[in-house]
A and B are shown apart, each in its own frame.
Chain A
Amino acid sequence: MRRRTAGTADPVLFNGHLTGRFDSGPCVRRSAEAPATGTVRRSDPQPPGAEVDPHRPAASSVMESWREERTRSVEDNEMSLPAIAAAYTTILRGLGEDPQRQGLLKTPWRAATAMQFFTKGYQETIIDVLNDAIFDEDHDEMVIVKDIDMFSMCEHHLVPIFGRVHIGYLPNKRVLGLSKLARIVEIYSRRLQVQERLTKQIAVAITEALQPTGVGVVIEATHMCMVMRGVQKMNSKTVTSTMLGVFREDPKTRDEFLRLIRS
């Protein structure tokens, strides 16, 4: 994959994709409750649009990093289905089951299709999903979309993660169609993920699409890999958050966001 050399930070590989330039240091953390101020964070670089190749107009550079996504096509899915189904048959045998019994006869195909569905985020690009639903609106107050149901797959155990995403942003004269926030969540969650990365990718995507004054994303999720196996803690939840722009710098803004998503 091509490495970007321009920008303030080295390109970072996420989900096997290059996603452009942004701070590769950790700026999300686990906590049992809403994140508080006080942790030292490295400052985020300017939105990529500010530092792109000068021969390209700033607007299209917003989407530039996404063009490097390795997108899977529907044809790819069809072609790989037999191989995935065969792998699942092997798994069933390896677990000691009889793949020929009635309940399991078509399971390899169903499981393969299900797995492709759970990773359909690799098939979509941000540009397609946003669908030009960016509108010029003289609005600069907080916009929050909360309680977005999210389903993802743990990349370490291939077991589901599910929870809720709360997104808030302060528009800078440009607002996004509300369902597009949920669609951005879908693109990044329907992949093999780590919750910290998922949170960050959503925040960065919104930043790059809109250049808002600030973005805040909070995800609260249950990890089946902790609930069904391993430590087996039924009621544990993992909370991660990413605060960019004014949400990071101004504690009052962050506070308002966190309070509004609680109620």
Chain B
Amino acid sequence: MNGHCNDTVEECHCNNGFSDLIIDTKKSAVHRKHETSRKEAEDKSRLPAIEAAYTSILRELGEDTDRQGLLRTPLRAAKAMQFLTKGYHETVDDILNNAIFDEDHDEMVIVKDIDVFSLCEHHLVPFFGKVHIGYIPNKKVVGLSKLARIVEIFSRRLQVQERLTKQIALGISEALQPKGVAVVIEAAHMCMVMRGVQKMNSRTVTSTMLGVYLEDPKTREEFLTLSQHA
């Protein structure tokens, strides 16, 4: 999934002239730090190939790539695509930035209505919506914006909404070891709205409950009430 395996370290190599790319979230931040900057440099080196691909797409669609509005579109589209998949470069360890604090707090913490934007991995078309995250700290709380940053890491990839929800929950779980984590995502999928069945108002809701949220229905209910209404 996204080149990751849930339990074991797995490396994924891309062929065809590109240097080997290792996508792996299990490695430590220290090891990954130099890899992150290397990939940012690689982004620039990969740009021409993606640009050429977009030029070919535009031509095959019947457009005139020399008209003024489309002249630099392949470059812009390639950069946009790289931005929309920048989550591959980042790991949870990197962005947490040591913003974990010892706090004698064991009540629920909820950050809700986090705007999320991702790309459907089946059609390469956006899906977007809101994420609600709740966790019960086990003496360790995390900086609130870090929850939103964790969402960003996993959403800026080619995704499936179910996997995105789970990755966010697992990311928080591993970083904090809280008593429980709950993540709910409600999103609109353009692949359903703009094409295919074309249902304008449909929304997809997925959730992942870990720890005490899974075991205790009252806790889960409190989270769902607070994130939906208040």
Contacts and interface: CB of A to CB of B under 8 A. Distances in A.
A153 to B, nearest CB: 9
Interface stretch (B96-104, B142-150, B193-201): B193-201
Interface stretch (B60-68, B172-180, B202-210, B220-228): B60-68
A104 B62 contact: no
A128 interface: no
Interface in A179-216: 192, 194
Given A87-B56, A194-B69, A103 B49 contact: no
Interface string A240-252: 0000000000000
Contacts of B62: 16, 70, 72, 76, 80, 119, 122
27 contacts: A16-B64, A70-B62, A84-B61, A88-B124, A91-B78, A92-B158, A93-B15, A93-B18, A94-B53, A96-B23, A96-B88, A97-B2, A98-B14, A111-B125, A112-B57, A118-B194, A149-B200, A156-B76, A159-B77, A159-B80, A162-B193, A162-B194, A192-B58, A228-B117, A229-B80, A229-B84, A234-B115
Given A87-B57, A229-B80, A114 B125 contact: yes
Interface of B: 1-3, 12-16, 18, 21, 23, 39, 42, 46-47, 49-50, 52-54, 56-58, 60-64, 67, 69-70, 72-73, 76-78, 80-85, 88, 115, 117, 121-126, 128, 158, 160, 190-191, 193-195, 200
A24 to B, nearest CB: 13
B230 to A, nearest CB: 21
Contact of A83 (B3, B60, B83): B60
A21 to B, nearest CB: 19
A2 interface: no
Contact of A87 (B53, B83, B126, B128): B53
Contact of A93 (B1, B14, B81, B117): B14
Contacts of B58: 192
Interface string A143-157: 000000101000111
Contacts of A72: 61-62
Contact of A229 (B1, B56, B83): B83
Given A93-B15, A94-B18, A103-B158, 8 more contacts: A90-B49, A92-B158, A97-B2, A97-B88, A107-B123, A157-B76, A192-B70, A225-B80
Q: Which 10 A-B pairs have the closest CB atoms?
A: A16-B64, A80-B60, A87-B53, A94-B50, A158-B77, A90-B53, A111-B124, A72-B62, A151-B194, A228-B117
A84 to B, nearest CB: 5
Q: How large is the interface on A (under 10, 10 to 19, 20 to 34, 35 or more residues)?
A: 35 or more
A91 B126 contact: no
Contacts of B3: 97-98, 101
A224 interface: yes
A135 interface: no
Nearest to A149: B200
B37 to A, nearest CB: 15
Contact of B46 (A84, A94, A117, A155): A94
A6 interface: no
Given A83-B56, A229-B84, A16 B67 contact: yes
A127 interface: no
A160 B190 contact: yes
Contacts of B125: 111, 114, 160
Nearest to B201: A149
A173 to B, nearest CB: 35
A18 B11 CA distance: 52
Contact of A95 (B73, B77, B82): B82
Given A72-B62, A87-B57, A115-B57, A107 B121 contact: yes
A110 B124 CA distance: 8
B70 to A, nearest CB: 6
